[in-house]
Chain A
């Protein structure tokens, strides 16, 4: 992937992954970048969310359609495409489960294609156990208690997942991420 492209405006050669032409400064047609590349981040499971947010706002400050109200139709369209893609990627990277999925997908494990079943019985039992606790929680206090418990399990799962990613154990990471997605759902339902 070392393709060189020409700026649509001034025709000079631009870096294939830049948002603007180095020469004339005009916004470029979006070329495909994955979610991590957009923000210039390493493809790692644990990322600094503050860095992500700063980078997100920095990009939107330059590329948002409000900056191109009086520009040519081309520039307006490019800005709209960039801005949409940045919003979508930011949303995906902010969330643990979808961020894990992006990494897994690039290594051949696609959540949409694989079945969403649990790899092992123990995992299923853990989830069922928490689920029934959730159902039994009636008042605010017990809800809060179970909510905290889920949060703890989520934190543990994230740490475990991080280790699996480091070891490049994609299959195991994939299974654990399915568990994480159920946990996150449970957390949202109880609060």
Chain B
């Protein structure tokens, strides 16, 4: 890598603030790339590696990340594949750090982002604040918001969230001059995405996307280990202690990678003190994973059918993601589709490459138009537990849609709005993204009120929902938000102002963290303000209001310590209220008739 070139390119009016890195946060590895001047480079860590394992080893107060963690004796005690938890509940504090404090997937991802930022800055010898962050195309709202949040908390200003397969196609379009209809098959460590794109001069349009957010290389390792254990040791995985299980799975991951270069080899495997020399070959491995690969082919086939584009009109399959190195992937694709296959840009690096190119365009005036779609339908729950779609899948974003609903019962004064995401008919089979109550509806006969629900999906794929009672003008906004009540817009504002006003990285991060905490807390209090006013003594209310005002004022400034101090004080002053609220089992909609919506 020639750093001098970069410096030269940098002379022409490009300042550090204009730099925007492309960041591919993977299940197994993360990669950062950047385009400066005319060159795109991958950012290496201090070990000279481009692939940075997405793992965190908590050791007391220390956090060891990436390739440094791999070198550690306690390596197997690291937290692996954290990206997979974003599909479940990224906010839930189900992990422990080195000091036995409960932390969430977002907290762990934040450490990885912090490390990536730090190590990229070291490599480039420049301060880096902006990034284009990639996410699996099939990730839902909650996972997207969670990943974005983790990046914001590390002090990175996420300029745009783009889908991984789209990013890869962008790289092929710009670097390899691909034009036509391309199908991106992206099989990573934890997720599987497919996207169909039309690439033309200056325009990259996604026609459709599909996938499985829980299918990837990790699953192949598990299946491989299972089969080995079964066939050669006559054991099942449940018979192994946690650490031995993990060690065998990691060994299988290594063997899997070796199989993409060699057909067959011998390997010594030790299980429960028993050592066996085993012949490992591709057929054995293929049998273990074949069912899952067939599923990826089915998903690909369905997307093609849905798009009504005959296979003859597809100019090629672009292979992305480390798991496409498995020989059987290519064989399966060729057998089913008879198409040209492209993998000449390293499948581990191509996503970050595309993101770097897009980041460059965003900062320097976008010449190429990127039109992406939403992977999953969005809607709300109506009577009978059904989902009413408002934005259907594969709709080009950004998009705003509204629909009018009415009440189900006579005299109904409040409406519960449940936001759903997914393709199933019934709401319980889809994911619930959030709930809110629109109250203050004028009591009228069922079917008379008109409630307008607006869904706005922005270009990052983040959803904003609002509802208005058209007769009274009562309005409720909801952003599909993380548990602390903070939305992406608030977070972006905090990050942008902190980057401008803090002296160094450390200060910046502390400021961002405190402000996010404070803003979230204020939102929480705001949501229960009515209850505070009815339940608390006048003296308490005055005190609470005073601290709210002080904290709000402090949020306009840039002193993390003062903010933290006020959060503490506000927390203390609302403690008795919190207790009362639990005692009363208070419900904010007492006395109001709440029911679901009727179409």
Q: Which residues of A contact B (CB under 8 A)?
A: 57, 60-61, 64-67, 69-70, 80-81, 83-85, 87-88, 90-91, 191
Contact = CB atoms under 8 A, between A and B. Distances in A.
B362 A80 contact: no
B459 A57 contact: no
Contacts of B371: 60, 64
Given A65-B459, A191-B308, A87 B397 contact: yes
B366 A66 contact: yes
Given A69-B363, A80-B459, A60 B401 contact: no
B398 interface: yes
Interface string B237-259: 00000000000000000000000
A67 B397 CA distance: 15
Contact of A60 (B362, B369, B400, B458): B369
Nearest to A64: B369
A67 B358 CA distance: 11
Interface in B388-405: 395-401
Give the interface centre of A60, A61, A69, A70 by most chain B CB atoms within 10 Å.
A69
B273 interface: no
B409 interface: no
Given A66-B366, A66-B370, A91 B396 contact: yes
Given A61-B202, A80-B458, A66 B398 contact: no
Interface of B: 159-160, 202-203, 305, 308, 361-363, 365-366, 369-371, 395-401, 456, 458-459
A26 B387 CA distance: 41
Contacts of B396: 87, 90-91
Contacts of A66: 160, 361-362, 366, 369-370, 459
A102 to B, nearest CB: 15
B313 to A, nearest CB: 16
Contacts of B308: 191
Given A61-B369, A66-B370, A69-B160, A87 B398 contact: yes
B477 to A, nearest CB: 15
A72 B532 CA distance: 38
A30 to B, nearest CB: 11
Contacts of A83: 398, 459
Give the interface centre of A64, A81, A84, A191 by most chain B CB atoms within 10 Å.
A84
Nearest to A81: B400
Contacts of A60: 369, 371
23 contacts: A57-B203, A60-B369, A60-B371, A61-B369, A64-B366, A64-B459, A65-B459, A66-B370, A67-B366, A69-B362, A69-B363, A69-B366, A70-B362, A83-B459, A85-B400, A87-B395, A87-B398, A88-B399, A88-B400, A88-B401, A91-B395, A91-B396, A191-B308
Nearest to B130: A69
Nearest to A112: B404
Contacts of B397: 87
Contacts of B456: 84
Contacts of B361: 66
Contacts of B202: 61
A191 B371 CA distance: 27
User: Shortest 9 CB-CB distances between A and B: which pairs?
Assistant: A84-B400, A84-B398, A65-B459, A69-B362, A66-B366, A87-B396, A61-B369, A84-B399, A87-B399
A67 B368 CA distance: 10
A64 B398 CA distance: 9
A67 B371 CA distance: 12
B398 A67 contact: no
Contacts of A67: 365-366
A88 B401 CA distance: 8
Contacts of B399: 84, 87-88
B427 to A, nearest CB: 23
Contact of B363 (A61, A64, A70, A84): A70
A141 B305 CA distance: 17
Given A60-B369, A81-B400, A191-B308, 8 more contacts: A61-B369, A64-B366, A64-B371, A64-B459, A65-B458, A67-B365, A80-B459, A91-B396
B234 to A, nearest CB: 46
Contacts of A191: 305, 308
